[in-house]
Structure 1
Amino acid sequence: MTRTTKPADATPTAIIAIPVRNEVERIEACLQAIDAQVGLAPGSLGLVLFLNNCTDGTDALVARLAPALSIPVRVASEEFSGAHAGWARRKAMDLAAAWLGDAGNMGIILSTDADSRVPPNWVVRNRAAIEAGADAVAGRVELDAAEAALLPPSLPARGHLEDIYDALITEAEARIDPDPNDPWPCHRTAIGATLAVTRTAYRAVGGMPEIPLGEDGAFIARLIEHGLRVRHATDVCVTISARLTGRAPGGVADTIRSRCEEPDALCDARMEVFSRVVRRHLWRRRFRRLHGTGSLRRSLAWAQAIGIDPAEAGRIAALPLGQAIAEAERASPRLAYRPIGPRQLPGQIRLARVGIVGIRLAQRLAHRVRSVAGEAAAPGRPAADPRATRI
Structure 2
Amino acid sequence: MTAPEAPRDPGAIEAIRALAVVIPAKDEEALLPRLLTSLDAARAALARRHPEVECVSVLVLDDCRDRSADLAAGRLEAIVHLDAGNVGAARAAGVRHAASLLGTHWGARAWIAHTDADGRVPPNWLTAQVAAANAGADVVIGTVRPDRLDPRRRRAWLATRSATPNGHVHGANLGVRADLDAAVGGVAAMTEHEDVDLVQRLRGAGARIVASNEAEVVTSGRLHGRVAGGYAGYLREDLMARREGA
Q: Which structure's residues are more often strand, by fraction? A: 2
Q: Which structure's residues are more often helix, by fraction? A: 1
Give the deviation of 1:186 after TM superposition: 4.2
Deviations 1:26-75 (A, max 9, x none): 11111111111204217721100111111122222223xxx2x3xx5111
Segments of 5+ residues of structure 1 without an aligned counterpart are: 1-11, 168-184, 268-341, 346-391
Give the deviation of 1:163 after TM superposition: 2.4
Other-structure match for 2:23: 18
* Partner Cα distance (1:98, 1:79) in 2: 20
Other-structure match for 1:163: 161
- Choose 122-131 or 54-63, whichever is displaced more: 54-63
Q: Does the 8 Å CA contact 1:134/1:231 hold for their aligned counterparts? A: yes
Other-structure match for 2:82: 78
State whether structure 2 residue 171 is matched by structure 1 residue 192. yes
Other-structure match for 1:62: 72
Q: Does the 8 Å CA contact 1:18/1:89 hold for their aligned counterparts? A: yes
Give the deviation of 1:243 after TM superposition: 1.3
Give the deviation of 1:162 after TM superposition: 2.4
Q: Does the 8 Å CA contact 2:138/2:208 hold for their aligned counterparts? A: yes
* Partner Cα distance (1:116, 1:343) in 2: 28
Deviations 1:299-341 (A, max 9, x none): xxxxxxxxxxxxxxxxxxxxxxxxxxxxxxxxxxxxxxxxxxx
Residues 198-347 of structure 1: pairs in structure 2 closer than 5 A: 198-259=177-238, 263=240, 265=241, 267=242, 342-345=243-246
* Partner Cα distance (2:115, 2:46) in 1: 19
Deviations 1:248-271 (A, max 9, x none): 3312122222358xx4x2x4xxxx
Other-structure match for 2:89: 87
Q: Does the 8 Å CA contact 1:141/1:238 hold for their aligned counterparts? A: yes
* Partner Cα distance (1:42, 1:162) in 2: 39
Q: Secondary structure at the match of 2:212?
A: strand
* Partner Cα distance (1:51, 1:76) in 2: 6
* Partner Cα distance (1:79, 1:344) in 2: 40
* Partner Cα distance (1:121, 1:218) in 2: 26
Segments of 5+ residues of structure 2 without an aligned counterpart are: 1-16
Distance 1:79 1:142, change over 3 A: same
Distance 1:132 1:42, change over 3 A: closer
Other-structure match for 2:113: 110
Q: Does the 8 Å CA contact 1:33/1:120 hold for their aligned counterparts? A: yes
Q: Does the 8 Å CA contact 2:19/2:53 hold for their aligned counterparts? A: no
Q: Secondary structure at the match of 2:121?
A: coil
The percent identity for this pair of structures is 31
Distance 1:139 1:57, change over 3 A: same
Give the deviation of 1:99 after TM superposition: 2.7
Q: Does the 8 Å CA contact 1:187/1:234 hold for their aligned counterparts? A: no
Distance 1:54 1:343, change over 3 A: closer
Deviations 1:323-365 (A, max 9, x none): xxxxxxxxxxxxxxxxxxx3453xxxxxxxxxxxxxxxxxxxx
* Partner Cα distance (1:20, 1:139) in 2: 20
* Partner Cα distance (2:89, 2:228) in 1: 13
Distance 1:60 1:134, change over 3 A: same
Give the alignment's TM-score, normalised by structure 2: 0.83
Deviations 1:101-128 (A, max 9, x none): 2114111111000011101110000000
* Partner Cα distance (2:188, 2:131) in 1: 26
